[in-house]
Amino acid sequence: MSFKEKFKEGIITAKDFSREDIDYILQKGKEMIHNNKKADVLKGKILATLFFEPSTRTRLSFESAMYRLGGNVIGFHTGDVSSTKKGESIADTIRTVENYSDGIVIRHNLEGAARLAAKFAKIPIINAGSGSGEHPTQALLDLLTIIQEGHKLDGLNIGIMGDLKYGRTVHSLSILLSNYEANIYFISPKDLMLRKRDKDYLQQRQVKYKEIEKYRDILNILDILYVTRIQKERFADIEEYDRVKDFYVFTKKDMAETNDNFKIMHPLPRIKEISAEIDDSPKSIYFKQAYYGIPMRKAILAELLSN
C-alpha cells in the first residue's frame, strides 16, 4: 500500500507511522529542499487551515508550503471568528468546509479533535496540534532537521526537555523515535513528567529511555537536546505553572559542556528556556528547524493532495 493510500484519511497521529512510512516521507521532504520544480504540483487545489487555537509558525508554515506548491489557502485562525462561536460542532464544521477545499489542517484544544474530524471528512485531515495530545507534522520536521544536520536516528542520543506532560510535540517526537534505536533522556521537573499512558506506549515498543530531572550531567553524551516551552495555556492551576516555568534555562556555559556534534533544538516559540546568547552558535539549530518545516510540509501536502 502506497503512503498516499495508507494516509488517505490524513495525518492524525504519529502512531500510524511505520519506520518505512517515516523513511519514505523524510526522503520526500529531503527532495523538496531547494526544489522549485514542483511549483505547480498543487495548482488549483485549496487547503483549509482551521486553527481553533492561536498559532503563528505552524499555520504560516503550512500556508507557505501550500503556496510554494502553487495551491491556495482559506481558513480561520481562532474559534472567535467562526461559526463555532455560534455553537456549531466540529463534525458540522468539517462536513461544511470539506466542500470548499481539498484538504484540511486543523488545530484544536481538544485531544481527539483531529481524529473526530477525520471520521467525518471525505478529504485528508492534517493534525496541526490537538490539545496536549500530538503534533505529528512537527515531529516529522524535527526528524528531517536531525538527519539533515548530520545525525542518524538509529543510535541517536537525544534529550527531550521541558513540559513532557502537556507538550504535544514531545509526544509525537518520541512516538516517531520509537521506530529507531534511539536512546531518549526525558528531562523534566517531577510535575511535568511524561504521562503514564505515554510511557506505557514506549515500554511496549521497547524504547530505551530514562527519566531525569537535571540535564547538566548528561550534556556530554547527547547528540541532540530538544527543548520545549512550558506552555502556560495548558495549566489549569497558575501556581503549578509558576513553580516550574523557569526550571530550565540553557546557557552559554551549558553549551561549553557539549560535544562537537551536539545540536540544540526547539519547536518554538521560545520564552527564556534557551538563552539568546547562544543563538549564533552553529550548534543552535532551532531557526533551521523552522526552515525545514517548509520542505517537510511541502512533501506532506504534495503526497496527500496531488492527483
Among 14, 22, 48, 141, binds a second copy (CB under 8 A): 48
Nearer to a second copy, 177 or 299 (CB): 299
Radius of gyration (Cα) for the chain, nearest Å?
A: 19
Number of residues that bind a second copy (CB under 8 A): 54
For 163, the grid coordinates are 513540559
The stretch among 62-70, 146-154, 189-197, 247-255 that binds a second copy (CB under 8 A) is 62-70
Among 13, 32, 84, 144, binds a second copy (CB under 8 A): 84
236 sits in which H/E element: none
Angle at 288 between CA 282 and CA 289, to 5 degrees: 125
Among 8, 19, 92, 253, binds a second copy (CB under 8 A): 92
Q: Which residue has the cell 532537521?
A: 145
Tell me whether residue 243 is one of the annotated catalytic residues: no
| Residue 254 CB, nearest approach to a second copy (Å) | 19
The stretch among 11-19, 27-35, 68-76, 191-199 that binds a second copy (CB under 8 A) is 68-76
Identity at 266, one-letter amino acid code: H
| Residue 274 CB, nearest approach to a second copy (Å) | 10
Identity at 76, one-letter amino acid code: F
Burial of 239 (0-12, 13-18, 19+ CB in 10 A): exposed
Give dist(CA 27, CA 45) in Å, integer: 23
Angle at 197 between CA 243 and CA 117, to 5 degrees: 100
Cis peptide before 269 (omega within 30 of 0): yes
| Residue 234 CB, nearest approach to a second copy (Å) | 11
Among 20, 27, 44, 203, binds a second copy (CB under 8 A): 44
Sheet holding 103-108, edge to edge: 10-11, 125-130, 103-108, 46-51, 72-76
| Residue 204 CB, nearest approach to a second copy (Å) | 33
Which of these is catalytic: 28, 59, 108, 135? 135
Residues taking part in catalysis: 57-58, 86, 107, 135
Q: Give the footprint of a second copy on this chain (CB under 8 A).
A: 36, 39, 44, 46, 48, 54-57, 60-61, 63-64, 67-68, 72, 74-78, 80-89, 91-93, 95-97, 99-101, 229, 231-233, 268-271, 276, 287, 290-291, 293-294
